[in-house]
Amino acid sequence: MYKGLLVDKSIIGKDVHLEENCTTCHKGDAKGPTRDVAHKGLVARPSKNIEVCEKCHEDISKSFKNSLHFTSEGQRHGVTGRFSKDELKVFNEKVFEKSCRSCHSSCGDCHVKAPVIGGVSTGLLKGHRFVKKDEGKTCALCHGGRVYPEFTGDYGGAADIHYQKGMICVDCHKKEELHGISAASYVSRKEVKERPRCTNCHKPGEEKTESARSAHTSHNGKVSCYACHSGGAYRNCYDCHLGKGSTAKPGFILGLNPRDKKTVTTLRVIPTVRNTFKPAGIEMEHFDKLPNYWDTAPHNIRKRTERTRSCELCHNAKKNFLTKDMLLKDGSKANEGLIYTPKPIKK
């Protein structure tokens, strides 16, 4: 019976979670004489109701209720600035809850069974064992469109230096960030104080060479770390909100950070177009308030790149910098505010 339910008898007693009866989490009727009777009222994803896990993991469950992984508020916040008050109400009812919220994750999606993305799942992580971490099946499945393949080098080019050194996602993205912080609700990952920062490990002033120290000092507060240390092209998306499928293209774009116009950083295309939500009756009255290019942290970091080797590449050749000619056709007017032209340096 256990084999049929993908629970190997040999692991019973080796995982404290499996000391409970199946119905403790999944409901149903443990005494049902047939499969149909036993499975009546069965809950396939019990942790979708956070209270199921909260019975034993009270502190983590309470904070996870506010986490971006569970609320999906980052997706809502990223686009709602384009809506009028009435449009926002329609979006929340017709779009967000029925579409965007399908990407939220429950405890079980990371610790028991990989989440279902586009109807695809890699299934149980380890025969219904409760797994502390298995990033190749959990992080990679949800973030496999761009972040994970950039990190491992599967998208093309060299893998991130941290990955090559044996580091994995949770070496930088700590459990406090992933589980959420008690009593704190965020609308963007940029608000999370516990999010990774390069300077957490690479302390300013501790560089091994004078040239590195000088470069970091002169660019401090003006250029993001990854603007220089991104190892190459990263994935940008086009057409996915035009109703005809998506197109992914490699690219490397530098411009002003839309959240901080004092800093030059890497930008990634977010292809929301004017008719994205037209089927739901939303015209996006304030479409031009937000840009189509947003600051991004590519996960393909290298110590030495073509930009760290040559100041002229940025300052004189102006390679990869966003220009008016490059802007998305029919894109937001706010895109123009991200164009930056570096000051030339004498050869």
Q: What are the sequence ranges of the domains in the chain? A: 1-44, 56-195, 209-347
pLDDT at 142: 85
Asked if residue 283 has pLDDT above 80, the reply is yes
Count of residues in the chain: 347
**pTM of the entire predicted model:** 0.89
What are the Cα distances from residue 270, in Å, to 41, 239, 300?
Answer: 41, 10, 19
- Per DSSP, 157 falls in state S
* Structure tokens that stand for 163 in this block: 């990955």
Asked if residue 347 has pLDDT above 70, the reply is no
Reported confidence tier of residue 241, pLDDT bands at 50, 70, 90:
low
pLDDT at 18: 85
Nearest CA to 175 among 198, 196, 154?
A: 196
Task: List, as own/partner pairs, every contact residues 159-164 make where C-beta atoms lie below 8 angstroms and the sequence separation is at least 24, other chains included.
Answer: 159/300, 160/231, 160/299, 160/300, 160/301, 160/302, 161/231, 161/301, 161/302, 161/303, 162/301
pLDDT at 2: 36
What are the Cα distances from residue 168, in Å, to 3, 64, 151, 173?
Answer: 32, 22, 9, 9
Asked if residue 12 has pLDDT above 80, the reply is no
132 vs 242, residue with greater confidence: 132
Asked if residue 249 has pLDDT above 70, the reply is yes
Nearest CA to 73 among 51, 93, 96?
A: 96
* Structure tokens that stand for 269 in this block: 């295309």
Residues 6 or more apart whose Cβ sits within 8 Å of residue 82: 272, 284, 285, 286, 287, 289, 290
The chain-wide mean pLDDT, for the chain, equals 89
Residues 6 or more apart whose Cβ sits within 8 Å of residue 219: 228
For the chain, what percent of residues have pLDDT higher than 90? 56
pLDDT tens per residue, range 307-341: 999 999 999 999 999 999 999 888 999 999 999 99
* Structure tokens that stand for 169 in this block: 């996602």
- How many degrees, rounded to 5, is the angle at CA 209 between CA 204 and CA 210? 80
Reported confidence tier of residue 176, pLDDT bands at 50, 70, 90:
confident
* Structure tokens that stand for 304 in this block: 């030495």
Reported confidence tier of residue 5, pLDDT bands at 50, 70, 90:
low
Please give the single-letter amino acid code of residue 343. Answer: K
pLDDT at 141: 83
Question: Which of 70-84, 191-205, 235-249 shows the lowest mean pLDDT across its residues?
Answer: 235-249
270-279 burial string, b = 16+ CB within 10 Å, else e? bbbbeebbee
Reported confidence tier of residue 242, pLDDT bands at 50, 70, 90:
low
Asked if residue 86 has pLDDT above 80, the reply is yes
Query: What is the average per-residue pLDDT within 232-261?
Result: 84
pLDDT at 4: 35
Query: What is the average per-residue pLDDT within 126-149?
Result: 87
Residue holding tokens 């469950």? Answer: 61
Asked if residue 128 has pLDDT above 50, the reply is yes
- Per DSSP, 209 falls in state S
pLDDT tens per residue, range 184-229: 788 888 888 888 999 999 999 999 999 999 999 999 999 999 999 9
Asked if residue 41 has pLDDT above 60, the reply is yes
Determine the distance from the C-alpha atom of residue 271 to the mean position of all C-alpha atoms in its chain, rounded to a whole number: 16
Reported confidence tier of residue 124, pLDDT bands at 50, 70, 90:
confident
Asked if residue 243 has pLDDT above 70, the reply is no
Reported confidence tier of residue 183, pLDDT bands at 50, 70, 90:
low
